[in-house]
Chains A and B, each alone.
Chain A
Amino acid sequence: MDAVELARLQFGLTAGFHYLFPPLSIGLGWMLFAYQTCFLKTGNAVYQQLARFWTRLFALTFAAGVATGIVMEFQFGTNWAAYSRFVGDIFGAPLAAEGVFAFFLESSFLGVLLYGESRVSRKVYWLSSLLVALGATLSAFWIVVANSWQQTPVGYHLMNGRAELTSFWTAVFNPSTLPRYFHVITGALVVGSAFVVGVSALMLLRKQHAAFAERSLKSALIPFFVSVILVMGAGHGHAVQVARTQPAKLAAFEGLWETQTGAPLLLFGWPNAATEKTDWAVGLPDGLSLLVGLSKETRVQGLKDFPAADRPPLVPSFLSFHLMVALGGWFALLAAAGLVLWWRGAVARNRLFLTAAALSLPLPIVANELGWMAAEIGRQPWVVYNLMRTRDAVSAAVPAGQILASILLFTLVYALLFGVWLYLLDRQIKRGPQPLAEEIRS
């Protein structure tokens, strides 16, 4: 492997590991806010119990997200110095804005949320939970802005050997920012609500803290179902935008070689670069054209329209995209089953559903990772789409050996961190919530 491959591996490792946590923090953050709001309105201690328990799990996740996020702020400079020089005039601003507008908000009020319940009034505490969730959601906005500009760069001109800003708002609201942002945030809401569903199901299966787990489960089923529907809608909108702005990427997602009307939507397949065909393709005729343009007459560009050197890696793009979509379908099924069972009054007793929900616990996070991989791998070979190639973006000052050393170090550190995170989550889940006052009396 050369320095470019190693730098990509290192960036993928650190960004991918970091990305385990923020969607969960955002999704769970809004669940906490919902519990705090119910508690503030009704004064019912049941909501306070929910809020306190899930805040403990939230704290574990947030810490891991912050710790691994520090790395991201500096990675562009360490690994991608040529990239940083070329796009810094545009790309740095959203990162700085994230710090000023989002990180300070969430980190300051996180202190109150985790350590300040006894020091502030109920209203200020409620407000803190809102500000933490809002801060995390805003933070995602600025990161999505930066990433979207890499995907669909606008609002710049080439000057002094680099991309210079011509319009801040055009660059911020570039064609992929809002579609991507809605997809990312709804994806985070799926992760948060599905986490509550999955952990509650696990508690019920273990027959631990059953009354609390049942309340938790029911509190999250509707958010889970609604957010799954929303993430699919947002995903559709995002895909339509990709078809318009990054046709090579969409063609790779879909394994489509020939530009055509009546393009099929593949359910399975394995793109083969040597034969320029997708093997074992099973698809719905006209499906892709219908999805992209609401008409089977819609022309969709195929991979053969692009020189081989400009095509993204086919199998990883295709697989990550298709697995993500398949997982989305599974979540819809799971959430719908949960609602039907709840309506029949059996959701907390149905072992099949509980087992499926518990086993699905990591899957929303996996789906988020796959979506991120599809977006980033699908952008290759470009670091800035059609403007700068990834191989031209790397740091000249960093020898491959140092990158390898850092990969080994990060792998070790992150494996440890991941193990500790899981261990502590499991401990907190087994420990369960603080009992309610009436439970203590009885």
Chain B
Amino acid sequence: MITLQITWLLLIGILIIGYAILDGFDLGVGIWHLFAKKGAERGAFIRAIEPFWDGNEVWLLTAGGALFAAFPAVYATVFSGFYLALILVLVGLIFRAVAIEYRNKVADHRWVAVWDVIFAVGSILPSLLYAVAIGNLLRGLPLSAAGDYLGGFFDLLNPYALTVGLVGLAMFAVHGALYLAIKTGGETQCKARAWAARAWWAYAACFLIAAGWTSHVYVHGSAALAQAFGAAAALAIGLIRTFNRQGRDTAAFLASCVGIALVMLGVVAVLFPNLVIASNDPARSLTVFNASSSERTLGVMLVIALIGMPVVIGYTAVIHRIFKGKV
């Protein structure tokens, strides 16, 4: 049973990391969208993500479904607790999905301009709020005996969680700019590299502040492991800068992918074995061991994952092969 519970923690971790790496680049493109020149440059931005964004978002849906199936108590507590914040994320995602698909359907500059703004806002808002949510999970939430969140919406917007939120925003901004550097050429590529370099400072600074703050106040799991992941993440973030300066776009993007994965693993290390920390009473915390589904369900789900995930990774590889190259 414990093996299954840990396995599912890791599988959901993989789904969320996969989502952050994949949708992270198209959210990141959205963060920069309004900084691009109207017309051809913005068109190129959309073309760079158009075939991929939908598949990328499926990682989120699957992570949501898997969390529901494997840790239903966490699914229930987190999404009801972050109610309004989640609704805002969802509205953002709805708008950006529609914006990507509809902006080119009418050849009118005002039509395009409106959807461009919607696309950017719909990308920035989720990027920020995802990480604010993670910040609140790291910090802990007041929970009732039944596991229901006892605080209000504005309690979620505390300085610590907002700092973590900025890490997320900067992380995706860097990630998206690095992706654009790969997918575009000429002037736009130079611009994207410069954006990545600039946003990198914000990413590095916010990450160091948040990591320091976390290690001082909020480490519940293994401090040694958290520090190891944190140091490795810092190294990966440093490498982004090096590769970016050398103009090695693919290497910089891969470093950013690794950095995202290590930051997320650091979050797990800080929390483990907790998934939702009850700040008012540790006995109410939801852990990998007390919040999971039954052994049978975890086993069935593992079979589904073992059959399904290799196929999914296959599709993703095929699609990126078909649409490889600059736009």
Interface residues of A (CB under 8 A from B): 59-60, 63-64, 66-71, 73-74, 76-79, 81-82, 84-85, 87-93, 95-101, 103-105, 107-112, 114-116, 119-120, 159-160, 164-166, 168, 395-398, 402, 405-406, 409-410, 413, 417, 420, 424, 427-428
Contact = CB atoms under 8 A, between A and B. Distances in A.
B66 to A, nearest CB: 5
A169 to B, nearest CB: 9
Contacts of B81: 397
Given A67-B97, A97-B304, A99-B65, 7 more contacts: A73-B60, A84-B72, A111-B55, A114-B50, A114-B51, A164-B293, A405-B87
A397 B73 contact: no
A63 B97 contact: yes
B51 A111 contact: yes
A70 B93 contact: yes
B315 A92 contact: no
13 contacts: A73-B65, A93-B297, A95-B64, A97-B308, A100-B309, A108-B316, A111-B55, A119-B323, A165-B300, A395-B148, A396-B144, A396-B146, A413-B91
A428 to B, nearest CB: 8
In order of increasing CB-CB distance, the 8 nearest A-B pairs are: A88-B72, A77-B79, A92-B69, A99-B62, A100-B308, A111-B51, A92-B68, A96-B65
Contact of A70 (B61, B76, B148): B61
B84 interface: yes
Contacts of B296: 164-166, 168
B51 A88 contact: no
Contact of A119 (B294, B312, B322): B322
Contacts of B91: 409-410, 413
Interface of B: 50-52, 54-55, 57-58, 60-62, 64-73, 75-81, 83-84, 86-87, 90-91, 93-95, 97-98, 100-102, 105-106, 144, 146-150, 153, 293-294, 296-297, 300-301, 304-305, 308-309, 311-312, 315-316, 318-319, 322-323
Contacts of B68: 76-77, 84, 88, 91-92, 95-96
Contacts of B76: 77, 81-82, 84-85, 88, 395
A432 to B, nearest CB: 15
Given A60-B105, A71-B90, A85-B72, A66 B57 contact: yes
A395 B86 CA distance: 14
Nearest to A112: B322
Contacts of A92: 65-70, 72, 75, 293, 297
A73 B61 contact: yes
B252 to A, nearest CB: 25
Contacts of A103: 58, 61-62
Contacts of B297: 89-90, 92-93, 164-165
A120 B72 contact: no
B70 to A, nearest CB: 7
A293 B18 CA distance: 52
Nearest to A396: B148
Nearest to B72: A88
A202 to B, nearest CB: 19
B83 A98 contact: no
Contacts of B294: 89, 159-160, 164-165
A417 B75 CA distance: 28
Contacts of B150: 397
A70 B92 CA distance: 11
B304 A116 contact: no
A96 B304 contact: yes
A153 to B, nearest CB: 15
Given A60-B102, A165-B296, A396-B144, A77 B78 contact: yes
Contacts of B95: 67, 413
Contacts of A105: 315
A93 B83 contact: no
Contact of A93 (B57, B77, B87, B300): B300
A188 to B, nearest CB: 20
A153 B81 CA distance: 28
Contact of A115 (B51, B65, B316): B51
Contacts of A112: 51, 319, 322
A136 B267 CA distance: 35
A115 B101 CA distance: 11
Nearest to B309: A100
B97 A66 contact: yes
A70 B75 contact: no
B87 A78 contact: yes
A313 B177 CA distance: 54
Nearest to A96: B65
Contacts of B72: 84-85, 87-89, 92
A101 B316 CA distance: 13
Contacts of B71: 88
A71 B94 contact: yes
B127 to A, nearest CB: 15
Contact of A398 (B57, B80, B97): B80
Contacts of B93: 67, 70
A93 B311 CA distance: 18
B68 to A, nearest CB: 3
B101 A406 contact: no
Which of B61, B95, B97 has the most chain A CB within a 10 Å cutoff? B61
A96 B319 contact: no
